[in-house]
Structure 1
């Protein structure tokens, strides 16, 4: 089978972490490359870093470095133990490559950019579960990506029993 490029949009929320688990359990198979895509909306980074990575995102980050909190701090992010554990377990069970990439700016646009940039075959993302009124005023990242992305998008909703 040909290698597929599968992306998971992460913000380290329970819904995005669940989307990662869902992707690992249901979509990712041996030979695939899994991209962990993060969009940092924080503009408090050094201006030189924003200038360097603002358009095309960070360089690809091998998973072993992605688990290092010092490395992620360079990109303005904190490490997430749940994500690290989920991926480490998957790496023991499946023959996959895992790479992270950080983009800066509006999540809706940057996730669509990532799909093109990384030639993704599919993207999995969590749903924050906004009600209709909030979605009208705040907009929905998943709705935007579903309607504008050039590849299949799977939006995974956090089960009721998992939310708190």
Structure 2
């Protein structure tokens, strides 16, 4: 490592790979006295565009409660290691949010991401989120394999 990292993004989706990347992110954040930005994005790229149908699809409270419970466990774990951690739960396109929007917003100097996540089938049609992040992020990217 040539320099110190101060703001680290770690996207998680509940997969074993994202749990491994989270653990690695905690260790690196602790070593660097960095702030860890824990990001969970509900992928809405394939959400229906028809207003009639979209009104019946709820990405809100039930999904948010499940994801927040998962994030809260991770926050507690990182804080027990003495790491400053912030959690973000949002909807949108994970590729552009992780690679472009959040690095700018949080002045990220490192993104730690799992090589694969929950979306194996989506990857066939849309492309790998981690691949997109490696190609488009303005900062260092660590891809974690298990």
- Using the size of structure 2 for normalisation, the TM-score is 0.70
Structure 1 residues 31 and 75, CA, compared in 2 at 3 Å: closer, same or farther? farther
CA contact (8 A) 2:13 2:117 kept: no
**RMSD (CA atoms):** 3.1
Measure, in 2, the Cα distance between the counterparts of 1:6 and 1:129: 19
Measure, in 1, the Cα distance between the counterparts of 2:59 and 2:117: 29
CA deviations on 1:40-73 (whole Å, 9 max, x unpaired) are: 1256236xxxxxxxxxxxxxxxxxxxxxxxxxx4
Match of residue 147 from structure 1:
135
Structure 1 residues 151 and 2, CA, compared in 2 at 3 Å: closer, same or farther? closer
In structure 1, list runs of 5 or more residues that go unmatched. Answer: 47-72, 160-164
1:108 match: secondary structure: helix
Shift of 1:11: 0.8
Measure, in 2, the Cα distance between the counterparts of 1:77 and 1:146: 30
In structure 2, list runs of 5 or more residues that go unmatched. Answer: 48-57
Matches within 5 A, 1:85-124: 85-94=73-82, 96-112=83-99, 113-124=101-112
CA contact (8 A) 1:18 1:126 kept: yes
- Using the size of structure 1 for normalisation, the TM-score is 0.63
**Of the candidates 17, 26, 32, which is equivalent to residue 34 of structure 2?**
32
Measure, in 2, the Cα distance between the counterparts of 1:124 and 1:117: 16
Match of residue 21 from structure 1:
23
CA deviations on 1:95-129 (whole Å, 9 max, x unpaired) are: x3111112321110111211111111111011117
